[in-house]
Structure 1
Amino acid sequence: MDFDTAFFCILAAGFITGFSKFSIGGMGLLILPIIAIAYPGPEALGILIPMYIATDILAVKSYGRDASWPIVLRLLPLALIGIGLGIWLLSSINPEQFTLLLGVMIVLILALGLWLDYRPSAVMRHPAATQAMGLLSGFVTMTANAAGPLLSLYLMEQRLSKEAYVGTRAWAFMILNSAKVPLLIAAGFLNEEIALRSLAGLPGLLVGSLAGYWLLKKLNINQFKWMIRGMAAIAAVKMLAFG
């Protein structure tokens, strides 16, 4: 993979990260597949995590005061267990298996999103849903950096105000992404060299954040959701069929 391709993959991932964090979210399904074009193994997670934490800090500063801490604390224990299970799995697979895993995870998340579109909203307010979403969010954020759609689906059904929804989501991801750092370092997926590569994404991250903030009120949310699903499905087919 030549330098220019790697640079533009990281830059594009930075733009989408910023745009997603400051608009409707749910674009994590696209971010890791873009990085995986240049870095097909689990080290792609290490490249992304500095950008994620940078946007988490900005989001917490902007929206974090309105978080619903009871919901965060209910999700957190099993989410941390899910992160532990995820790093255990990642440490035992090779880049080809990681690409296959990522493709499968994207398909499953898309299927879950479609299923929940047609389920009564009360299903996400059942006590068991909190435990299931906590565990799944931790596992998916560790293995595919794509827990945004899962957590958003759950939080949208908790009867939160708009401000509490955004603040709760911001704090939840700040905590989960910070928890991933020592595990990624211990597994060898994050070090100084890998972290420096992520710097290429900072210009894209800043532009994407501004674009997401500006465009949020102009977006047709339903059309945008289906566009993201379509692009994610194409990425999944590419990974499953061609590796």
Structure 2
Amino acid sequence: MLETILPAGISPAIALLLIGISFLTSAFTAAFGIGGGVAMLGALAGTVSPAMIIAVHGLVQVGSNVGRTYIQRAHAVWPLVLRFAIGSLVGVALGATFVVALPERLLLGVLGGFILLMTWVPKPELPGLASGGIVIGGAVSTFVTMFAGATGPFVQALLLPLKLDKRQLIATQAACTMVQHLLKVLAFGALGFAYADWLPLVAAMILFGFAGTMAGTKLLETLPERWFLVTIRTVLTVVGLDLLRRAAGLWS
């Protein structure tokens, strides 16, 4: 019976794995601020066909960030979110033009390289971001997310130079990320992606992701951060290198 509500090619075991990973990655994000989106991207890359990874990831991230945005809405700097959204409209339009033309191996290579980049390369602050700069940043970030999926660290890099306090930074980043993932979901829907097939599974992933956020806030703060960071980096490095291997057609 469970098979009848799952997308084609997704077994009950894989569905349960993705739901569990959604819980864990949300807990990681609650504990470390960023990283859950990239980890979820890696998990989907190992279980979902390349043509579906970014679209499904976007739908999961919309649900995750809607919850965060609602809870933190009083602290979000909404004029910044509006400027980011204006740029995002340009970025998603450009991204939708090119994303359909990407061959599978190139997509795998982009995903693998992005995961390694997010894992190992420091995310610098971007100096000189005036009010108009956030519009440009929104366009670039949303264009990239059409191909790479998880650009939360890039969005954070855009906001850091603006001297927001901690609550403003977290809330504004959640709202900006929600906007770009929502636009991405709409774009992939317009390109013909069948979201209806994924709704039951994604709903379960979002629900358990929220539970992970709640549990992670209370539990993971008491555990050694260094141990978790080493574990996350190790897993993501293996995933990123494997994607590059598959992109190169080695040891298939």
Give TM-score, length-normalised by structure 1: 0.81
Deviations, residues 5-61 of structure 1 (Å, cap 9, x unaligned): 421442144224532554412322221121121212231233333332222221122
Which deviations, in whole Å up to 9, do the C-alpha atoms of 1:113-160 show, x marking residues without a partner? 4262xxxx5x43444864553233212322222111111223233211
Contact 2:87 2:138 in 1 (8 A): yes
Query: Residues 2-21 of structure 1 correspond to what in structure 2 (within 5 A)?
Result: 3-20=11-28
Other-structure match for 2:67: 58
The unaligned stretches of length 5 or more in structure 2 are: 1-8, 248-252
- In structure 1, list runs of 5 or more residues that go unmatched: none
Distance 2:136 2:230 in 1: 25
- Partner in structure 2 of residue 124 of structure 1: 127
Q: Distance in 2 between matches of 1:220 and 1:140?
A: 33
Which of 107, 111, 127 is the equivalent residue of 2:116?
Answer: 107
Distance between the aligned counterparts of 1:109 and 1:129, measured in 2? 22
Shift of 1:225: 5.2
The structure 2 residue matched to 1:167, chosen from 143, 156, 171, is: 171
Contact 1:47 1:190 in 2 (8 A): no
Q: TM-score, normalised by structure 2?
A: 0.78
Post-superposition CA distance 1:213-233 (Å, at most 9, x none):
224644666775565444322
Percent same amino acid at aligned positions?
A: 22
Q: Is the 8 A contact 1:141 1:147 kept in 2?
A: yes
Contact 1:28-1:148 at 8 Å conserved across structures: yes
Equivalent AA in structure 2 for residue 52 of structure 1: Q
**Alignment length (residue pairs):** 237
Contact 1:46 / 1:184 at 8 angstroms: preserved in 2?
Answer: yes
Does the residue aligned with 1:207 lie in a helix, a strand or coil?
helix
1:72 and 1:159, CA in 2 relative to 1: closer, same or farther beyond 3 A? Answer: same
User: How many angstroms apart in 1 are the aligned matches of 2:181 and 2:220?
Assistant: 24
Equivalences for 1:62-141 in 2 at 5 Å?
Answer: 62-110=71-119, 113-114=121-122, 116=124, 121=125, 123-127=126-130, 130=134, 133-141=137-145
In 2 relative to 1, CA 88–49 (structure 1 residues): closer, same or farther, beyond 3 Å? Answer: same
Question: In the aligned structure 2, how far is the partner of 1:99 from the partner of 1:16?
Answer: 24
| 2:196 corresponds to which of 184, 192, 196 | 192
Cα distance in 2 for residues equivalent to 1:158 and 1:96? 38
**Structure 1 partner of 2:216:** 212
Tell whether the 8 Å contact from 1:90 to 1:98 is kept in structure 2 after alignment. no
Output the CA distance in 1 between the equivalents of 2:224 and 2:156: 17
Letter in 2 for 1:81: V
Is residue 152 from structure 1 mapped to residue 152 from structure 2 by the alignment? no
Indicate whether 1:233 and 2:213 are aligned.
no
